[in-house]
A = this chain, B = another copy of it.
Amino acid sequence: MTEFFKNINKIQFEGTDAINPLAFRHYDAERMILGKSMKEHLRFAACYWHNFCWPGSDVFGAATFDRPWLQSGNAMEMAHMKADAAFDFFSKLGVPYYCFHDTDIAPEGTSLKEYVNNFAQMVDVLEQKQDETGLKLLWGTANAFSNPRYMSGAGTNPDPKVFAYAATQIFNAMGATQRLGGENYVLWGGREGYETLLNTDLRQEREQLGRLMQMVVEHKHKIGFKGTILIEPKPQEPTKHQYDYDTATVYGFLKQFGLENEIKVNIEANHATLAGHSFQHEIATATSLGLFGSIDANRGDPQLGWDTDQFPNSVEENTLVMYEILKAGGFTTGGFNFDSHVRRPSIDAEDLFYGHIGGMDTMALALERAANMIENDVLSKNIAQRYAGWNEDLGKKILSGDHSLETLAKFALDSNIAPVKESGRQEHLENIVNGFIYK
């Protein structure tokens, strides 16, 4: 147990009547829903970066958090102290998984060699901590966007040496992920985009990024990594435009490089909304394209144009998200990672817990409501009925290719078809959904 969290005990489920704010009201890890425990359904992870690396700064202001491990001092000692705090936190919170970037856990040092050494040492520490705590790694990743060398891209950098540097980090982070039993490996291309088209060769950069993804997939197979490779779409920020704009864009990219059966998406709520989509849309699009992998759970602010990464707190929104996930069969290797952070003025140790408790309760309740929807799947029945014509003669002939444009036009004209309008009944369906959420 660390000094920092010493006043906080392991968070327990206490039910909806709980008065204790440091308790779960809805997340009851072992409660069975549709044949699986909540824990197995939700596969929660907490993250290293927002909770233990971010000091509470923003573009207009300095660090507000006074974390002991973020003070000046010997970098490796600080990394150890950080790991102690992180695993104490993860354990007390009761999430089964965690996630990290390579540079979250170990100091980068002043050279590539130093980076490799520091990282290797800290992976040992993490392995030991996993053993001690039973925590598991949902996914690992390499941070190829924060260091100034990546200011003009990592895989898409105009300088191949920068590509090589990033590749080295990915090589090490993949190795560490495999060794730590990670269930996925994530690629987020924060700088894989452009600031201005005036100095950018789109075709060249796309080729570079495509080759990098292929190298990652080839390496996965070579080392026998069993997890899933995930791309995390985001439309912009920090760049003006990012190549992995959204799920549909990633799909085209994967098709171009023959990777559509090798890589899936890690969808973030706030990235979805920055791209002009609802969170549900991105999930539904991914499942419809066979690309659904994992989720970075958070929320944006509908009035703000940047990534606020707040904790999810809308049961309404997330019930529909859970419904899409359950309909698609649930997570396989993926899970809900809280890529969320407390607000800059939430400076207390307890605030880290409040944020995650709220997020976990929100998702647990959403799971429960969505499970009810699945058990009595009025929406799917309605959809089946709505599209029923496509299982009948005309529909089948169209989709199977038995009709050309000409034969179809002839058929239509000969029968002088006059389709009858049918109500889409959106309001009715919305009421049904609310009937599940508010019982």
- CB neighbours (8 Å) of A430 from chain B are 196, 198, 311, 313, 358
Contact call B273/A303, Cβ cutoff below 8 A: yes
User: How many Å lie between the Cα of A62 and that of B171 in the bound state?
Assistant: 23
User: Is residue A4 within 8 Å, beta carbon to beta carbon, of the partner chain?
Assistant: no
Contact string, A184-225, partner B, CB cutoff 8 A, digits 1/0?
A: 000000110001111111111011100100111011001000
The stretch of A76-84, A125-133, A280-288 that contacts the partner chain = A280-288
Contacts of A253 in B (CB 8 A): 248, 252
Q: Is A35 an interface residue (CB 8 A)?
A: no
Per DSSP, chain A at the interface is helix
| Contact B438 A63, beta carbon cutoff 8 Å | no
Cβ–Cβ contact A439 & B16, under 8 A:
yes
- The size bracket of the interface on A is 35 or more
A68 at the interface (CB under 8 A from B): no
Binding-face segment, A5-13, A38-46, A86-94, A343-351 = A343-351
**Most central of A116, A235, A406 by chain B CB within 10 Å:** A406
A161 to B416, CA, bound (A): 11
How close is A240's CB to chain B, nearest CB, in angstroms? 6
Interface flags for A146-182 (1: CB within 8 Å of B; 0: not) read 1111111000011111111101101110100000000
A251 to B214, CA, bound (A): 20
Q: Are A60 and B148 in contact (CB under 8 A)?
A: no
| A375 at the binding interface (Cβ < 8 Å) | no
Q: Give the docked Cα–Cα distance between A320 and B184 (Å).
A: 39
B252, B281, B409: the one contacting A168 at CB < 8 Å is: B409
Across the interface, do B222 and A404 meet the contact criterion of CB distance under 8 Å? yes
Judge whether A134 is part of the interface by a CB distance below 8 angstroms. no
Q: A413 touching B112 by the CB < 8 A rule?
A: yes
Q: Is there an interface contact between B63 and A238, defined as CB atoms closer than 8 Å? A: no
A80-125 CB contacts (< 8 Å) to partner B: 111-113, 116
Please give, as numbers and ranges, the residues of chain B lying within 8 Å of A214 by CB-CB distance.
Answer: 401
User: In whole Å, how far is A200's beta carbon from the nearest beta carbon of chain B?
Assistant: 7
Would you call A3 an interface residue if the criterion is a C-beta within 8 Å of the partner chain's C-beta atoms? no
Report B-chain residues with C-beta under 8 Å of the C-beta of A345: 151-152, 195, 421, 423-424, 426
Interface check A236, CB cutoff 8 A: yes
Asked if A305 meets B302 with Cβ closer than 8 Å, knowing A164-B394, A345-B426, the reply is no
Bitwise, A384-402 to B at CB < 8 A (1) or not (0) is 0011011010110011010
Contacts of A335-364 to chain B: CB distance below 8 A? 342-348, 350-351, 354-355, 357-358, 361-362
- Complex Cα–Cα for A276 and B301 (A): 11
Are B171 and A424 in touch, CB under 8 angstroms?
no
A238-B60, A305-B305 as given contacts; A26 in contact with B438, CB under 8 Å? yes
Residues of B within 8 A of A439 (CB): 16
> Is A256 on the interface with B (CB-CB < 8 A)?
yes
Interface centre among A151, A238, A306, A315 (most CB of B within 10 A): A151
